[in-house]
A and B are shown apart, each in its own frame.
Chain A
Amino acid sequence: MKHLLSVGDLDRTGIEQLLELATSFREVTRREIPKVPALRGKVVVSLFYEDSTRTRISFETAAKRLSCDVMGFSVASSSVTKGESLRDTVQTIEAMGIDAVVMRHSAAGAPHRVAEWIDASVVNAGDGCHEHPTQALLDLLTLRHRIGPGLDGARIAIVGDILHSRVARSGAHAFAALGADVTLVAPPTMLPSTVAGWPVTVSHDLDAVLGDLDVVYLLRIQRERQRETRFPSLREYTARYGLTVERAARLRPEALIMHPGPMNRGVEIAAEVAEGPASLITEQVANGVAMRMAVLYELLGAGGGHG
C-alpha cells in the first residue's frame, strides 16, 4: 500500500491486517518508553490546511513513537492565497526530501490529487466532507477491543449531519466492510440527496431505531448549519436527534456510545452520557495513536517508503 486516501482503498483483509498491526502498537504505547526504532530516518510532514489539534497531535505522536522525523507545515486557511497552486506547495515540500505527507484539507479529494503529483506516500487526515479513513480505522480498533474482532451483525447507527461528515463517509464503509449493519439517522436536510452506493439503511427517527442498537455513533453538529436552514435550532435538534439521558436509558444495557470529537455537550450528546460507562469516547482518542502508527508503518516500513 502506497497511500491511504479512502477506506475503499482497503478490503476486509487489508483492514483486519492493519487492525492486527495496530493492536501490537497498542502494546508499545503502554510501555514505559513508548517508542520503537521502526521508521528511524523517515521524514513525515503534517500538512494541515485546516486546523485540527487532535488529529494533528495524534499523527505526530504516532510518527515520533516510530522514530520518524516529523515536520509540521501549517497553512492557515487565510494564507492560502489564490496565487500558489496546491501542486506548487506540495512539490516544494517534497523537494526537501520526505517520505510521507499527512494531509488535512477543507476540500474533498485534495489528498487524492497530491498523491498524483508527488512520489511520497500520502495519508488522508480528512478531506472536506469526503473521508477521514484513520478515524474509521481507530473506531474499528476501539470496537474490536470491546466486542471482538468482527462486527458481523452488529447494529450501528451513525447519527447527525451525514451530508457534511467525512467521519460518516469513512465510518459507514468501514463498519459495513467488517460486517456491521449500518443505519444513518438524520433529518432529510442532513442526508445526501441519495445514498445509492452506500452500504446502509436510512432513518429519520432516532427513537425508532434506538432500542435495537449495539453502537450509537454521534456526529458533531456544526452551528453554522442552522444558518443554512439544515435545522431550525439546536434545541430542536437535541429534542429529535440528541442522545439525551432519557434516550440513553432506553438503549440496550450492553450498547456502546461513540463520538469522533470534539463534542458539543448538551447538543448531540448529554454530558452525563458522554462520561458514562457505555461511552468509548476516551478510548477512541487513545487508540488513535496506535492506529496511526500502524498506518504509517504499513506505508513506510518493511520495504515501503521512498527515502
Chain B
Amino acid sequence: MADLVIRGGRVLDPGGERTADVRVHDGVVVEVGEHLTGDTTLDASGCLVAPGLVDVHVHLREPGMEDAETVETGARAAALGGYTAVVAMPNTTPPLDDPTVVAAVLAAGARAACEVVSSGTITRGRAGEELAPMGELHALGVRMFTDDGDCVADAGVMRRALEYARALPGAVISQHAEDPDLVAGGAMHEGEWSSRLGIPGRPAMAEEVVVARDVILARATGARLHFQHISTAGAVELVRAAKAAGARVTAEACPHHFTLTDACCATFDPVFKVNPPLRTDADLAAIKAGLADGTIDVIATDHAPHPTEAKERPFEEAPSGMLGLETALALVWEELVRPGVLTPLAAFAACSWKPAAIAGLADHGGPVAPGAVANLCVFDPEHRWEVAPERLASKARNTPFAGRTLTGKVRHTLLRGDVVVRDGEAQR
C-alpha cells in the first residue's frame, strides 16, 4: 500500500498544536514531521490536521425510516463534516433493542464513509418499562445505552438500568432528559415566545427535574451517566454541581443550542422544532459557559433527518429534529472558537477525543502520532461556504442554517487511512 502525506497543515491533537506533515501507511499514521514525502499528497495548507470528529448522538433512521436517511447517506454526511465515527441512536423501527437489529446496522455501516457505532436501548421497545438485553448488545460492541427520543421517566427503571450497566465494562447510560408529563403536548420552549405564539410549551423545568433526579441516582449507584443535549441554564448548573460533588456524569450540547433561540420559532417554520427545544438567550449563554469551563464535555449534533413533507406540516404537528453533521464544526468555529469561548484545542477535545472516550472508541480521537489509526480530519477554518440544503449529502433537507454563510469547512477526511472526503467531496 502506498504512502500518503498530508502536507502543509498544523497538526492539532491532545498533545497540542504544531506545524507538521503527516505520513499515513496501511491505515496507520507512521510519521509526523517536517518535509515528508509520499506516493500521494493531500494539501493541508492553511488547515488544521486533527483526529477525526466523533459524534455520540446521530439519527441515521435505518431501519425503518430510510426515506429520511440511511446509514450510508448519514455516514457520508458525517464524513463531510469531519466525523470518523458516529453513534447511531436507537429510535428506529424496529428499535435497536435487539441483537439482530444492532447487527444489521453494524453490517450496513461496514462499508460506510465513517465508522458507524450502534447504541442500544435501555428498555425494550423504548417503552420505559423492562430492561433491554443490555448484555447481549454489549457483546456486539454497544457501549452507549439510551432510549433517546424518549426519556426514561420511571425512576425505578432508571435506577435499575444504572445499576445493571455497572457490570458491563465501558457501558454508559445516556439520558434524554425531559420529563414526559411536563412536556406533554409541547412543541417549543415554554417562555415569552410560546406565550405570544400560542404554541404549547416544553418548559426548562422538564429537563432540569430529570437531570436533578438522575444525578442523585448516578451518585447513589456509582454508575456512569451521560446527559444528552443539555439545553438549559439550570441543567448546566446541576451538571456543574454534580461533577463538583464527584458524580460520574458527562454531558453533551448541540450546536443548535448555542447558535439559535426560541425566537426562531416566530416564523412557525418547523425546521426550528427540536427536542429539547431551542431556548432563550440566557440559556444559550449558559451552554457556552458550560462548554468553556468543561461542565459540558462534548458537542454532539443530534443530527435528526426528516423528509421534506414531514416538515411541511404546521409547527405543532411536524416531527422534531434538525440536521447537524455537515454544519457542526463550522458553527463550533464561528460561535465558540472565533469569539474566544473555546480554544481550537478545547473545541477539538469537545468534538473528537472526549466523545471518543465517552463512547469507548480507542481508534478515534487521536493522538496524531506514529502507530495511531489514521482517522483524521483536515479542517480549513477560513473556507467560506453557503449552506445549500439541496447540496447536502444527507437525504433530508431540514437544516435550520439554510442560506447562511459559514466560515470553516472540512477539506479532507481519512477513515483508517482511506481518503473518504477529498477537497470537500465525498469519495464513498
Residues of A in contact with B (beta carbons under 8 Å apart): 85-88, 105-110, 112-113, 127-131, 166, 169, 192-198
| Number of A-B contacts defined by CB within 8 Å | 73
B191 contacts which of A88, A131, A194 (Cβ < 8 Å)? A194
Known contacts A108-B314, A193-B203; decide if A131 and B195 are in contact (CB<8 Å). no
**With A and B bound together, what is the CA distance between A85 and B313 in angstroms?**
6
Q: List 27 A-B contacts (CB under 8 A).
A: A85-B309, A85-B310, A85-B312, A86-B313, A87-B312, A88-B309, A88-B312, A105-B314, A107-B315, A107-B316, A107-B317, A108-B197, A108-B315, A108-B316, A109-B268, A109-B314, A112-B268, A113-B312, A129-B199, A130-B198, A130-B199, A169-B198, A193-B190, A193-B191, A193-B195, A193-B201, A198-B196
Residue of A nearest to B184 (CB): A228
Contact B199 A109, beta carbon cutoff 8 Å: yes
**With A and B bound together, what is the CA distance between A216 and B61 in angstroms?**
53
**With A and B bound together, what is the CA distance between A197 and B191 in angstroms?**
11
**With A and B bound together, what is the CA distance between A45 and B399 in angstroms?**
33
8 additional contacts (CB under 8 A) given A108-B315, A112-B268, A192-B194: A85-B309, A85-B313, A86-B313, A109-B197, A193-B201, A196-B192, A197-B192, A198-B196
Contact A129 B200, beta carbon cutoff 8 Å: yes
Residue of B nearest to A114 (CB): B314
How many chain B residues touch the partner (CB < 8 A)?
23
Residue of A nearest to B195 (CB): A192
Residue of B nearest to A113 (CB): B268
The reply on B335 being an interface residue by CB < 8 A is no
Main SS at interface, chain A: loop
**With A and B bound together, what is the CA distance between A87 and B317 in angstroms?**
13
CB proximity to A under 8 Å, residues B171-200: 190-192, 194-200
Nearest CB of chain A from residue B68's CB, rounded to whole Å = 14
**With A and B bound together, what is the CA distance between A107 and B200 in angstroms?**
10
Contact A109 B313, beta carbon cutoff 8 Å: no
Q: Which residues of A contact B267 (CB under 8 A)?
A: 112
Q: Which residues of A contact B316 (CB under 8 A)?
A: 106-108, 128
Nearest CB of chain A from residue B253's CB, rounded to whole Å = 24
The reply on B3 being an interface residue by CB < 8 A is no
Contact B313 A194, beta carbon cutoff 8 Å: no
Residue of A nearest to B193 (CB): A197
Nearest CB of chain B from residue A212's CB, rounded to whole Å = 25
Q: Which residues of A contact B192 (CB under 8 A)?
A: 194, 196-197
Main SS at interface, chain B: loop
Q: Which residues of B contact A166 (CB under 8 A)?
A: 198
Contact B309 A109, beta carbon cutoff 8 Å: no
Nearest CB of chain B from residue A195's CB, rounded to whole Å = 6
Nearest CB of chain A from residue B399's CB, rounded to whole Å = 18
Contact A195 B198, beta carbon cutoff 8 Å: no
Q: Which residues of A contact B190 (CB under 8 A)?
A: 193
Q: Which residues of B contact A197 (CB under 8 A)?
A: 192, 195-196
Contact B201 A110, beta carbon cutoff 8 Å: no
Contact A108 B309, beta carbon cutoff 8 Å: no
Known contacts A85-B312, A86-B314, A108-B314; decide if A128 and B269 are in contact (CB<8 Å). no
**With A and B bound together, what is the CA distance between A106 and B194 in angstroms?**
16
* Closest 10 A/B residue pairs (Cβ): A109-B268, A130-B198, A107-B314, A192-B195, A129-B198, A85-B312, A110-B314, A87-B312, A107-B316, A85-B309
**With A and B bound together, what is the CA distance between A74 and B279 in angstroms?**
37
Q: Which of B192, B198, B315, B316 has the most CB of A within 10 A?
A: B198
Per-residue interface assignment for chain B, residues 312 to 337, with 1 indicating a CB less than 8 Å from any chain A CB and 0 otherwise:
11111100000000000000000000
Residue of A nearest to B314 (CB): A107
Q: Which residues of A contact B312 (CB under 8 A)?
A: 85-88, 113
Nearest CB of chain A from residue B315's CB, rounded to whole Å = 5
Q: Which of B196, B310, B314 has the most CB of A within 10 A?
A: B314
Q: Which residues of B contact A127 (CB under 8 A)?
A: 198
Q: Which of B195, B313, B317 has the most CB of A within 10 A?
A: B195
A108 contacts which of B198, B310, B313 (Cβ < 8 Å)? B198
**With A and B bound together, what is the CA distance between A195 and B194 in angstroms?**
10
Q: Which residues of A contact B313 (CB under 8 A)?
A: 85-86, 107
Nearest CB of chain B from residue A153's CB, rounded to whole Å = 25
Q: Which of A107, A113, A197 has the most CB of B within 10 A?
A: A107
Q: Which of B190, B199, B203 has the most CB of A within 10 A?
A: B199
Q: Which of B199, B203, B317 has the most CB of A within 10 A?
A: B317
Q: Which of B190, B192, B268, B315 has the most CB of A within 10 A?
A: B268
Q: Which residues of A contact B198 (CB under 8 A)?
A: 108, 127-131, 166, 169
Q: Which residues of B contact A128 (CB under 8 A)?
A: 198-199, 314, 316
Nearest CB of chain A from residue B21's CB, rounded to whole Å = 51
Contact A196 B199, beta carbon cutoff 8 Å: no
Residue of B nearest to A162 (CB): B195
Contact B200 A109, beta carbon cutoff 8 Å: no
Nearest CB of chain A from residue B252's CB, rounded to whole Å = 27
Residue of B nearest to A84 (CB): B309
CB proximity to A under 8 Å, residues B196-213: 196-201, 203
